[in-house]
Amino acid sequence: MSDNALRIGTRDSQLALWQANKVADLLEGLHLKTELVSTKSIGDLDLTQPIYAMGIQGVFTKTLDIALLENQVDIAVHSLKDVPTQLPEGLILAAVLERGSASDILVQTHKINLEETATIATGSLRRKAQWLHRYPHHQLVNLRGNVQTRIDKLLSSQWEGAIFAKAGLERVALLGSHFQELEWMIPAPAQGAIGVVCRTKDEALIEQLKQINHLPTQMCVKIERDFLRILEGGCSAPIGAHAFVSHEKIEFKAGVFSLDGQNAATLHNEVEIKGSENLAAYAAQEVLSNGGDEIMKTIKYSKE
């Protein structure tokens, strides 16, 4: 750690900087001096390929992982849905902030009837698969870039709409009123949550970061990320998972979808909080047993 300030590593997009400043404000409330160190990730530099086609994990986090390991920054702030379930050796997810909305939304350029033909934009394999599962007659096109870039591309296009994470648009004040919340779509594991990563050897810093950790969010995103880790096995696939606390219980919605959206294996479980330790493993087994195993095999073979 710097003698003068805690160096916060972040991507340089508007959303990433908002999230890093949120963490900085919380830490400065603990009387810690901070400074932001911004960079571009692999995913920021390549805006043409779909993320799932890049062939590497952590396209938005790898650059900051290296900065941490090389002691160029002290912590890294991420949209937790971008963070691989397996962190590099020497790094730890030390804090998770209270979650914003986990929902996906459709931002529309004009009022449309989704039962008719439409062109919908997204760079997410998960969103594409779930959308085609519900609307197989629609055309899906790739959309990459930061939040503002994607909004601009949508507004200058002939598309009927594009899919976004609600939390991201809220945080940078771009939500507007022309959107539809997709309550049926299962979000990405940890969507809407902000994660703080640091070095495992920085024990004093880890203790300080516990003070900004939100335990209910941490518990829920751990279930989601464990579910993803068990199913994924290193294979990028359309997997959704959302755990949330409801009336002293954990509700968990999850699923895996074929790339073309034709097949799906989903579940909706509810368990007592005290009995949720093995929820991810049980849920993963249930999904695999109910068709998810065949879907995952098909996806794996299609990429070989």
DSSP β-ladder status, 264-272 and 104-108: unpaired
46 and 17 in a common domain: yes
What's the rounded mean pLDDT across residues 30-50? 72
Residue 113 pLDDT greater than 70, yes or no: yes
Q: Is the pLDDT of residue 223 over 90?
A: yes
Q: How many residues does the chain have?
A: 304
Residue with tokens 């959309």: 143
Of the given ranges (9-13, 42-46, 150-154, 292-296), which has the lowest mean pLDDT?
42-46
Residue 58's pLDDT is: 60
Tell me the HSE value of 263 on the side-chain side, using a 13 A CA sphere.
15
Q: What is the CATH number of the domain that holds 38?
A: 3.40.190.10
Q: Tell me how far CA of residue 144 lies from CA of 17, 30, 33, 163, in angstroms.
A: 18, 37, 35, 11
Residues 14 and 71 in one domain: yes
Calpha distance 174→147 (Å, rounded): 8
82 is catalytic: yes
Q: Which pLDDT score is estimated for 3?
A: 62
**Helix-helix angle 147-155:14-28, to 10 degrees:** 150
Indicate if 56 and 205 belong to the same structural domain.
yes
The sign one gets for the Cα dihedral 115, 117, 122, 126 is positive
Instruction: Please tell me whether residues 173 and 207 are part of one structural domain.
Output: no
Q: State the Cα–Cα distance between residues 152 and 164, nearest whole angstrom.
A: 13
pTM, rounded to two decimals: 0.90
User: Do 232 and 265 have their domain in common?
Assistant: yes
3-state SS of 201-270? Answer: CCHHHHHHHHHHCCHHHHHHHHHHHHHHHHHHCCCCCCEEEEEEEECCEEEEEEEEECCCCCCEEEEEEE
Q: How far apart are CA 269 and CA 178, in angstroms?
A: 32
Is 70 exceeded by the pLDDT of residue 1? no
SS3 state at 119: strand
Of 44, 74, 82, 104, which one is the catalytic site residue? Answer: 82
Q: How many domains does the chain have?
A: 3
Over residues 253-299, the pLDDT tens digits come to 999 999 999 999 999 999 999 989 999 999 999 999 999 999 999 98
Do residues 83 and 115 both lie within one domain? no
Q: What percent of the chain has pLDDT over 90?
A: 82
For 259, the domain range is 225-302
Residue type, 50: P
Residue 155 and residue 119 share a domain = yes
Residue 187, domain member (yes or no): no
Is residue 49 situated within a structural domain? yes
Rounded distance between C-alpha atoms, residue 40 and residue 207, angstroms: 29
161 closest CA partner among 120, 128, 123, 127: 120
Opening angle at CA 271, ends 266 and 273, nearest 5? 130
- What CATH number is associated with residue 295? 3.30.160.40
DSSP 8-class letter at 122:
-
Place of tokens 């809220």: 170
Task: Assess if residue 290 is contained within a domain.
Answer: yes
For the chain, the distance separating the N- and C-terminal CA atoms, rounded to the nearest angstrom, is 43
263 and 122 within one domain:
no
Rounded distance between C-alpha atoms, residue 110 and residue 161, angstroms: 8
Q: Give the range among 59-63, 173-177, 217-221, 276-280 with minimum mean pLDDT.
A: 59-63
Residue 17 lies in a domain: yes
Indicate whether 162 pLDDT > 60: yes
Same domain, 21 and 80: yes
pLDDT at 182 over 50: yes
CB contact at 8 A, 39 and 20: no
User: pLDDT tens digit string along 51-99?
Assistant: 444 344 566 799 999 999 999 999 999 999 999 999 999 999 999 999 9
